[in-house]
Chain A
Amino acid sequence: MSLNTKKLAKNAWRVTKDRHLTCLRIRVPGGHLPAKFFPILQEIADRFGDGSVHLTTRQGFEIPGIALAATAEVNTLIAPLIRELEVDQGVQVPAPEEGYPAAGTRNVVACIGNRVCPQAVFDTTSLAYDIEKTIYPNNPHVKIAVTGCPNDCVKVHLHDIGIIGQVEPIYDPSRCIGCQACVKNCRQVSTGALRFHNFKVQRDAERCLGCGECVLKCPTGAWSRGGQYFRVVIMGRTGKKNPRLAAPFLEWADRETVLRICRNLYDYIDRHIDRTLAKEHVGYIVDRTGYPTFRDEVLRDVVLSPRAKVAGFFRPSGYLYDKSALAGQESHI
């Protein structure tokens, strides 16, 4: 059998354990799928696959057990989904009936956001669409995630670019009854940025995460929502070398900035990627170039809002897989 596996993978199909079967990957930007597409997924699984669908960690679907010979036909079946979720959102897909044009840049995932969740400070799905439009189709292996608040339910801290909603709380002392619901709650569930003094509340802006908890708890509307901003964390990853949580890059950045850095990231990758390798994950590129180069190139032509702050250094948590540590443990048993 002759098959160009590079083309297959780029078309969002997998090489699988079974030499004759493949697996289709469906992108669902922002993880929000119009239910009318379920019959298409079911039809593909029943007619071409093994009757099952796998829910991926990236909020997409994989439909396994499809004959390699059937990829072209299945591609035509998913065209309506690609048209509505990609083309209609402004993503450039030259020929939707030929399937996905790229798979390296992964589906942009998002928590359910403020369409449902009271905690979310913005519409995550809408930003996920805007990001998808900015970065897809593209081949570099990049993972981006969007979450509505610092609870980070979608785990943006395990992504190359993690976007966390922030809201600037506005305080109207004339509506404050001094019940301290905000102060107690901030201490309990957030950063303890609020302090009660002279019967009114003082906010430590340096400490405030912008989670909006004070607004949620305030009975009188003394706290209300000001501008919508984003905290951007970078270079979280799993993998075989050095799993680590993402570290802060920007705080109080506006939407324009977020989209711009997503776009600039690809120029940075293009400039620094090690082309001798089959692929190189962006986190390892940053390990090589160092944070200042990343920062300067990704922020090129970005006009930061007056509130925005840029991290002066990059010091992610995490660890290197260390065989000796485990060996040492063994010797104690």
Chain B
Amino acid sequence: MGSLIEAAALDELLRLLKPKYRIYAPVRLPGKGRFSDTDLIGYAEINRSRDIVFNERSYFSPKEILFPVNQTLFYFTESQWREPETDDREILVFLRSCDLEAVKRLDQALLHNGPYPDSYYQEARAKVKFVLMECQEEFEGCFCASMGTNESRDYAFSIRPENGAYLCDVREDLEELFGRLGKPREHEPAFVREHKNPVRLPDNPEAFSEHPFWREYSERCIACGRCNVVCPTCSCFSLQDIFYDDNPKVGERRRVWAGCQIDGFADLAGGHSYRRDKGERMRYKVLHKIYHFKEHFGVNLCVGCGRCDYACPEYISFSRCVNKLAELEDSTKAEANRKLGDTSAAVEVKKDVK
């Protein structure tokens, strides 16, 4: 059902939803940017439509709503433990197509990855509905169309700002509210179809695992982990057992985001560490995002949101890396064909001699 809803009416709709839903959207957090006098576009609960930032990509992704940076799994004291209380309200998240597709990747990693689903994620996931923020054009360095994540339709309603009002395509149990507060208006959401810098995936990047190609990243990467924490599909975590200072008999177990570019990620007991080299970490990450995950789950992990490019302080571009791998594969194939051609030509020459 298409609907045109005025800003005031959308505010009223949000107000009516509030008792039942926690409503999250990308918002401008003034002065919270990394550099002084800059803002951060991040996710937070909203009350009004004008809080929603439509014209910029959020620096952090919405994954933190379903998969918090820090999550207490249980509290413990001596022989007893209990899980923390949770908020009963449902969750409404304003996000873009790539981020909505990213949630499906999180589902794979956290729900369908082994015999047991992650119950903490599962509980939050069951409560969430999505509002698709239309992308009428790409943001810098996006490549969702290259990854096939540009057109996600699993939304409760879609939204596009239009002359101070909003054009929506309403799909799920909110028709009544929209019928009351909006005006009927045929609307089909737009999706990004093309990119300035499209990304081409190599067929078998694993063939280049030992290639000197990765050494460049050993030099450039500083292992800060920004690419991991802004990524909507990174879902690695560590566990921390905290014993409270005042009474170490009481404490909690937390899970906390971890990132494969960050020092310590691949440390083992006894001091051994896999992938000390940053180029190897880059290889591990890139292959996981565009190759290995697909081998397990049939779909690539990377959704092409472009956040890692934007966040990297060393200007390392994930998409450029993937394209370079594809080019490397092309040139390797061409070289092989040329050699093959040489051989067959040589055979022909011999034939002639005969």
A217 adjacent to chain B (CB < 8 Å): yes
In the complex, the answer to whether B34 meets A178 with C-beta atoms within 8 Å is: no
**Contact for B36 among A121, A174, A177, CB less than 8 A:** A121
Known contacts A199-B242, A220-B229, A221-B42; decide if A177 and B224 are in contact (CB<8 Å): no
Main secondary structure of the interface of B (DSSP, over half): loop
Question: Which B residues are in CB contact (< 8 Å) with A220?
Answer: 60, 69, 229, 257
B84: CB under 8 A from chain A? Answer: no
- Say if the beta carbon of B152 comes within 8 Å of chain A: no
Residue contact A225 to B69, C-beta cutoff 8 Å:
no
Contact of B224 among A114, A178, A199, A217 (CB under 8 A): A217
Q: Which A residues are CB-close (under 8 A) to B40?
A: 221, 224
> Are B31 and A225 in touch, CB under 8 angstroms?
yes
- Bound together, the chains give a CA A228 to CA B36 distance in angstroms of 9
**Which residues of the partner chain B approach A215 to less than 8 Å between Cβ atoms?**
34
Q: Does A236 contact B (CB under 8 A)?
A: no
Across the A-B interface, how many residue pairs have beta carbons closer than 8 Å?
78
A294 at the binding interface (Cβ < 8 Å)? no
B70 interfacial by beta-carbon distance below 8 Å = yes
Q: Scoring B residues 54 to 92 as 1 if CB is less than 8 Å from chain A, else 0, what string do you get?
A: 000001100000001110000000000000000000000
Interface residues of A in 211-264 (CB under 8 A from B): 212, 215-222, 224-225, 228
Q: Known contacts A177-B258, A219-B225, A221-B60: does B32 contact A212 (CB below 8 Å)?
A: no
Does A175 lie within 8 Å of B69, measured CB to CB?
A: yes
> How far, in whole Å, are A174 and B60 apart by their CA atoms in the complex?
15
Contact in complex: A176, B70 (CB < 8 Å): yes
Taking each of A181, A198, A220, which has the highest tally of chain B beta carbons within 10 Å of its own beta carbon? Answer: A220
Give A167 to B245 CA distance when docked, in angstroms: 29
8 smallest CB-CB distances across A and B, nearest first, come from A199-B240, A114-B36, A219-B226, A219-B225, A177-B257, A121-B36, A219-B229, A224-B32
27 A–B contacts from the bound complex (CB under 8 Å): A114-B36, A118-B35, A121-B36, A173-B70, A174-B69, A174-B70, A175-B69, A176-B70, A177-B70, A177-B229, A177-B259, A178-B256, A179-B225, A179-B259, A181-B224, A198-B243, A199-B256, A219-B225, A219-B229, A219-B259, A220-B69, A220-B257, A221-B42, A224-B31, A225-B32, A225-B33, A228-B36
